[in-house]
Structure 1
Amino acid sequence: MEKVRKHPSAFEPGVFVLNVIMAILGSIIGLELITRLGITTNTSIIGALIAILLARLPAKALKSFLDLNRQNLVQTAISGATFGAANAIFLPVGVTWLLGRQDLLIPMWIGATLAAIIDMTMIYWLFDTRIFPAKNPWPPGIATAETLIAAAKKGKRALLLLYGMIAGGIVRYLGIPADIAGVAWIGNMWALAMFGIGLIVRGYSKQLFGTDVNKYYVPHGIMIGAGLVALIQIILIISKKRRALKEEEATYEFTRSEEDIKSALTKGFTFYTVVALILALLGGLYSGMSIGMFIWWFLFAAIAALVSELIVGLSAMHAGWFPAFATALIFLILGILMRFPAPALGLLVGFTAATGPAFADMGYDLKTGWIIRGEGKDIKFEMEGRRQQYFAEITGLIVATTMVALFAKTYLAQDLVPPVDRVYVATIKAGANPEIAKYLLLWAIPGAIVQAIGGPDRQLGILFATGLLINYPIAGITVLVALAIRWAVVQKYKEEGQNILYVLGAGLIAGSTLVSFFTSTLKLGKK
């Protein structure tokens, strides 16, 4: 008789405690990166390697973390917390702050948290359906699975992470943003080169052009143009890939049915409508709109949330990146055309931005788990593994939203907001100011051209605009130096060199962001 495999639980005391600790670390990394650099990175590998590191300590209780399925639960919790805190919850809250509406901070926090929970639940329901097959690429998910399997065989990888964390912390304390060097060793080289150039152009724009480019809404306009093109690019990718996969899908057996798809989409839309209504009532939108416009607002917000989530999820599955900034921006522009007032637009773009990142991130994590569990060969084990990953992801999100509640004001009071929030608010203001609208339209043209030239994989326009939004020239120099080191290492040591840089880069991010959080954000250890 064949032995039935039992999947580890996300609520095992050891796993649960480590998941909470990793989620706190993930939240700190997410908040530090989104506010200081405008981007977030996948932290799955950090959680997994810390689990491996603990398993190698001489304590019997920790040996259980040598199991890849437990490592998968830990990486799921940390990555869920990273994107949950940064993209799904704090980014929406930052919009209301920049609009000068502190009274909307708590309603937006509640709305974004509930939206992110629905987001995660939707991918749990839809993973390995005809729309989101498990066998499709989900590139970061494959990368994490390969790293976990390789690290399990080579314990020294976990030590490399530790060395990277120590180095990252020391370098950050000396005033050099080691976290961006870590990101440069992990992400797309072309995209990050444009990000670095954007940081340098913004940082030295007065010396280069005699004025700050921000004054004429150059970064905002470039982001709008690039965002529009990014959306067109991803729609083309999705339609092309769907055609290519149709024949293959005919012979593939999904673990979820057509009925599951219908049920997930119906329930998802219903939940989004209810949460949008709660958000509208808490935000007092009924006082500034007619009854008809008020009803249309929460229905439109629910449609925007669902459509944005699906576009972002399909992009993540096929291309390995998700255009969450761009989709939220498009629905914001539609909202402006519908003549919604400014507070309603702020809540609309925040609510839309909250959906998608958690969906995409959990899609990556489920792909990692699917590979580790044997690619669906044992259906019962696979379905139980997914369920436990869902619990781990929700654990990460609960920690993330708590961290945002505790530290949002600390960031906002220091004008540390996600740079893309400035684009959203400038766009809202442009609806009432023809002068701002003129600049945004003018600079949207070069943004669209740069994004089109780079293609969908490189995201040149989006990353260039993100760099332009941040006045942090030393980060730009750090990016370019780190990319030069990466290029030299890969030339000499090929794939093995790049694999080592992935692990060291993850360590630099973890060490640097921790030191930044305690010294720069909380002002601890500073005179």
Structure 2
Amino acid sequence: MTHSPAAQTAEEAGVPRHPRAFEPVTLVVTVLLSVLGAVIGLVLITTLGIAPNTSVIGALIAMLVGRVSFAALRRMRDPNRQNLVQSAVSGSTFAAANSLVTPIAVPFLLGRTDLVWPMLGGAVIGLAVDSWVLYRVFDSRLLPATAAWPAGIAAAETIRAGDEGGRKAKLLGVSALVGFVGGLFKVPTSAAGVAFLGNIWALLMFGVGLLVAQYAPVLLHVDLSAHYVPHGVMIGAGLVALVQALLMMRNRGGRKTAEAVEGPATEGAAPGGEPENARPAHFAPEVRTVDAARLRRGLLEGLVLFVAGALVIALMGGVLSGMGGAGLVGWVLLAGVAALVHQLIVGLAAMHSGWFPAFAVTLIFLILGLVLAIPMVPLALLVGYAASTGPAFADVGFDFKAGWLLRRGGVPWHPYEVAGRRQQYLAQLVGFAVAVLVVAVAWKPFFADGHVPPVAKVYVDTIKTGLTDGHALAVMGLWAIPGALVQLLGGSSRQMGVLLATGLLVATPQAGWLVLAALAVRVLWRRHARRKAAGAAAEQAATEAADNDLALVGAGLVAGSSLSDVSQIVRTF
């Protein structure tokens, strides 16, 4: 792939060269570990129904590879190379487990094995567009790099601790051990880890949702999910979140210019349509690398590409024969919009909480399809296409966040950050390609042995059964009102409504208590750190130091929990 003129000018002007994703050693390590990640994701999603976060695991393996004394592998000691490998490994895991094998299991379980390959082709399109849109809009007002992206912080802190050693490595190691042991005993320690890393208000609502979902059946004798209450809350919050996203696409003031932060801008026009004065020489988190114009273009490109992908699936899957011309047009438009909405809601939830309710949001579109009386086969393809988007979108965001944190020392920062993000995207594409090959080869023996993602069974059972409760739509409409109000009151920066619905839908036992306890520790630790500080500057420094310590603890808990998830692969054989 050729470099843009702007990138060539930057390199000639002395911009430090970011490691390349296609360097021979990096590429070989990337491919080998991506195969491992894809296999792990495929085995765990089809046996235990989970897709572990392999971002930190990929980072740990990349660090171990870098410690090998063999001359060529010493290059892997570079944290930015480790970030490239980590990005590809997590990408291959989520792509294989969530974006590829789950969608193709839907037509398989319906007995339509002839539609598996068309669905796989559609899922590949969904995966490709999913990652492309995130690459285009990451670090915009809608999806800023300064947001939580908890798994990204965990991966970056893991790489840093391995590179620097000392106190950071010890704190990370102890926290990882706690997370690993907790995972072995089915304690959701990753929930506590995320609470140390994410947005406090968003996670507060997430914890509340988890507790309500856990205790409503016991105290109120009501199964909220069976009555579609969480789905209604998500519909209301999701609609408001989409309106908020549309408002962010407008060109408005409020962003500091680089001249106000750093003085004169660096030479040359910024890639992606940013104004020239948005290119600071040093790291400036308040200056975004993606402006409103590029955000608008990225989302519109995504919508067009999703609609085109839906048309391809419709033609390959024979939707026209079952619906007619007008039905085909309506199906294609609905599938394209569903794919875009699905990725945005899942991405926003993941950005703030580290959890993404992909299954539940897909189920919402399934229910909508039942209400619209879409025939079985077109509905199955619609569900599979929507399910292929979202997880990769969130995962790429996590990895870009990790890279953004690791590249803060680059000077000049802006072109180095843009170049590094591009290399991460290329590394992700390698991981995705590996995942496609692994799934294409492995799906037949896996499905033949009865290893099918549990969520796909839920989709198919719902499609076959239909809406037995005639009041489901009315209930969802009723509960959409409080979901919309909470989202509106919290604003776009907190996504409180979306996170409340996420907690209600995820419903992991005991996770709510851990989230709230970790938030309480976070607040108390900050106050303790500021108590001895004299002056505003000292208080700010003390708060940052406290947040750094908590980020290490959170990263360790997430890493340990992820290792525990992956260790369960041994139990499947």
Q: Fold-level match, TM-score > 0.5?
A: yes
TM-score normalised according to structure 2 size: 0.68
Q: Distance in 2 between matches of 1:226 and 1:424?
A: 27
1:140-176 Cα distance to aligned partner (Å, 9 max, x none): 5896898589658732334544443333222211232
- The residue type equivalent to 2:571 in the other structure is K
Q: Which one of 382, 390, 404 corresponds to residue 425 of structure 2? A: 390
Q: Is the 8 A contact 1:52 1:158 kept in 2?
A: no
1:214-259 Cα distance to aligned partner (Å, 9 max, x none): 33222222221221122223323443x644459889x88322469x
Q: Is the 8 A contact 1:72 1:368 kept in 2?
A: yes
**1:165 equivalent in structure 2:** 176
**2:8 equivalent in structure 1:** none
TM-superposed deviation, 1:52: 4.7
Paired residues for 1:460-499 under 5 Å: 460-493=496-529, 494-499=543-548
Q: Distance in 2 between matches of 1:197 and 1:410?
A: 41
Paired residues for 1:307-318 under 5 Å: none
Quickly say closer, same or farther: Cα 1:188–1:29, change in 2 above 3 A. farther
Identity of aligned residues (%): 40
Quickly say closer, same or farther: Cα 1:54–1:37, change in 2 above 3 A. same
Q: Distance in 2 between matches of 1:404 and 1:447?
A: 37
Q: Which sits farther off after the overlay, 439-448 or 382-391?
A: 382-391
Paired residues for 1:196-345 under 5 Å: 196-239=207-250, 242-244=252-254, 253-256=269-272, 272=306, 275-298=309-332, 301-302=335-336, 305=339, 340-345=374-379
Q: Distance in 1 between matches of 2:226 and 2:346?
A: 35
Quickly say closer, same or farther: Cα 1:523–1:145, change in 2 above 3 A. closer
Quickly say closer, same or farther: Cα 1:395–1:350, change in 2 above 3 A. same
- The residue type equivalent to 1:512 in the other structure is S
3-state SS, counterpart of residue 552 of structure 2: helix
**1:510 equivalent in structure 2:** 559
Q: Distance in 2 between matches of 1:503 and 1:27?
A: 29
1:57-108 Cα distance to aligned partner (Å, 9 max, x none): 6665543234343133134324534654566446655776898978756543
Paired residues for 1:60-209 under 5 Å: 60-81=71-92, 84-85=95-96, 88-89=99-100, 92=103, 107-121=118-132, 126=136, 137=145, 139=147, 151=161, 154-156=164-166, 157-209=168-220
Q: Any unmatched runs of 5+ in structure 1?
A: none
- The residue type equivalent to 1:200 in the other structure is L
Q: Distance in 2 between matches of 1:61 and 1:374?
A: 24
TM-superposed deviation, 1:392: 0.5
1:189-234 Cα distance to aligned partner (Å, 9 max, x none): 3333333333333233232112322332222222212211222233
**1:455 equivalent in structure 2:** 491
TM-superposed deviation, 1:289: 0.9
3-state SS, counterpart of residue 504 of structure 1: helix
1:256-304 Cα distance to aligned partner (Å, 9 max, x none): 469x989989987776455323322443323321134225533554466
**2:571 equivalent in structure 1:** 523
Quickly say closer, same or farther: Cα 1:366–1:329, change in 2 above 3 A. same
TM-score normalised according to structure 1 size: 0.73
Q: Which sits farther off after the overlay, 179-188 or 149-158?
A: 149-158
Q: Distance in 2 between matches of 1:216 and 1:330?
A: 13
Q: Any unmatched runs of 5+ in structure 2?
A: 1-11, 260-264, 275-292, 530-542
Q: Which sits farther off after the overlay, 261-270 or 180-189?
A: 261-270
1:31-73 Cα distance to aligned partner (Å, 9 max, x none): 97999999997x7566446545654566655432343431331
TM-superposed deviation, 1:393: 0.8
Quickly say closer, same or farther: Cα 1:236–1:496, change in 2 above 3 A. same
Paired residues for 1:412-427 under 5 Å: 416-417=454-455
Q: Is the 8 A contact 2:240 2:484 kept in 1?
A: yes
Q: Distance in 1 between matches of 2:326 and 2:386?
A: 21
- The residue type equivalent to 2:501 in the other structure is A
Q: RMSD between aligned alpha carbons?
A: 5.3
Q: Is the 8 A contact 2:56 2:155 kept in 1?
A: no
